[in-house]
Structure 1
Amino acid sequence: MRIRRERLRCLRRERGMTQSQLADDLGCSRAAVSTWETTGRLPRPDRLQLLANILGVPLPDLVEDGESFSLVSLRLTAGMLAKDVARILKVSKSTYCHVERGRQKVPPRWFPILAKTFGVPSELFRSLRAEPSDKNAGRGTE
């Protein structure tokens, strides 16, 4: 998942902010803001949400949509742990992790819950791709 760098740059300029001013509001360096605007690299999840709040737009307006979405990237962007999402879905953490890692498809009954949780359209989950499962999947996020 990547930030929509042109959208970020336009929103910042529309609000009459310099990269330095935005960085001050976010508690980061001007270089970080410049990196997001030039490379599309995502800020930390908490900073990404703050960025959306400062610019007055919903989070999905700042991130690229389409095939770059995965349950892992949506969850990390929201700053959530797998156990948090599992609790919202009222399933076990292991059940959620099996779906997140692509061992099972996303159950259609989860679509509206995930859409509300992550602030994205529920149709996104019909074609959602799973993250490739490997030994490091989910490390450091639990």
Structure 2
Amino acid sequence: MRIAVIDGQGGGIGRHIVERLRQELPDHIEILGLGTNAMATAAMLKAGANDGATGENAMVQNLPEVDIIAGSVAILMAHSMLGELTPAMAEAVGRAKAKKILIPLNRSRIEIVGAKSDPLPHQVLGLVRRIKELVEEERHV
């Protein structure tokens, strides 16, 4: 199973996600850190991603090959992350057949009615919990 974690700007959210996934999932699960910039990619690699790549082409080429995509809801919206997320990146996320497990941060000007506004660490725990469930389901298939 391959999991892509997408982040931009300083990579803080992606770093938290990768750290928690690495703690909770078996070592054979591959985590790919995809950053909108080199700093975000480096943060995810430092947190334990198996591999990392940066930029639009990296996302377009790698997202069709992963099973799960994790990040904030902003990865669905072109021009989010202060303009770092390009339309092609957003399209690559949307077109990917992978399951998308997203954190509903309101910084992206998207409000998801019914979603809790928990602190980021709690949202990351929920995201990791759901991915762990999906990994367990895959093992039993």
Higher-helix-fraction structure: 1
Higher-strand-fraction structure: 2
Bigger radius of gyration among the two: 1
- What is the TM-score with the length of structure 2 in the denominator? 0.28
